[in-house]
Amino acid sequence: MRHHFKSLIATVLLIAGGQSVAVAADEKTMAQIEGTVTFFYYDDIQAAAPFYGELLQLPLTMDTEWVKIYQITATSSVGLVLQGRGFHEVAADKPAMLSMVTDDVDAWYERLKSANTVILTELPPANAVKSEGSAPVRGFVAQDPGGYTIEFFSWLNKP
């Protein structure tokens, strides 16, 4: 078990400048991960689809009656899954969050606000002073039509 856990953490995926880089801890590491898909579950994916396809303008890369996948970057996507299909179920609480990194957080804030999207945290002014210990980001948190938390942020000092 310990060896299996060690091999799982031996490969670290770094996201820097939109490219993924695998960092091997030793020669017996897992294959490089090529991308990610975050799946959210909905009673009605047709109601959630316009948020991702029209408002966020993400390209639709898979479209079936029970799952829709929208591409976020070259290696990351978000998938919408119809209740009763897939691995999980729709839950009253939404313990997952999709975070999107952008160089223009102000434009995303205005776009979502003008579309009457539920904004959970306001975007602080560009010159706002961050408190010590807070993340080096400036952003806001919104809610998609299914109640999932979507964060948009810009790095204050790009990693």
**Domain that includes residue 112, residue range:** 35-155
Name the token pair of 146. Answer: 């299914």
What percent of the chain has pLDDT above 70? 80
Name the token pair of 7. Answer: 């091999």
CA dihedral of residues 54, 113, 90, 69 (deg, nearest 10): 30
Mean pLDDT value of segment 58-70: 95
Per DSSP, the chain holds a count of helices (H) and strands (E) of 3, 10
User: What digits encode the pLDDT tens for the residues 91-122?
Assistant: 888 888 999 999 999 999 999 999 999 999 99
In the chain, how many domains are there?
A: 2
Same domain, 57 and 44: yes
Same domain, 58 and 19: no
Q: Taking the CB of residue 9, how many other CB atoms lie within 10 A of it?
A: 10
Local confidence band at 23 (pLDDT 50, 70, 90 cut-offs): very low
User: What are the phi and psi torsion angles at 30 (to 5°)?
Assistant: -75, 165
Same domain, 102 and 57: yes
Local confidence band at 11 (pLDDT 50, 70, 90 cut-offs): very low
Same domain, 20 and 55: no
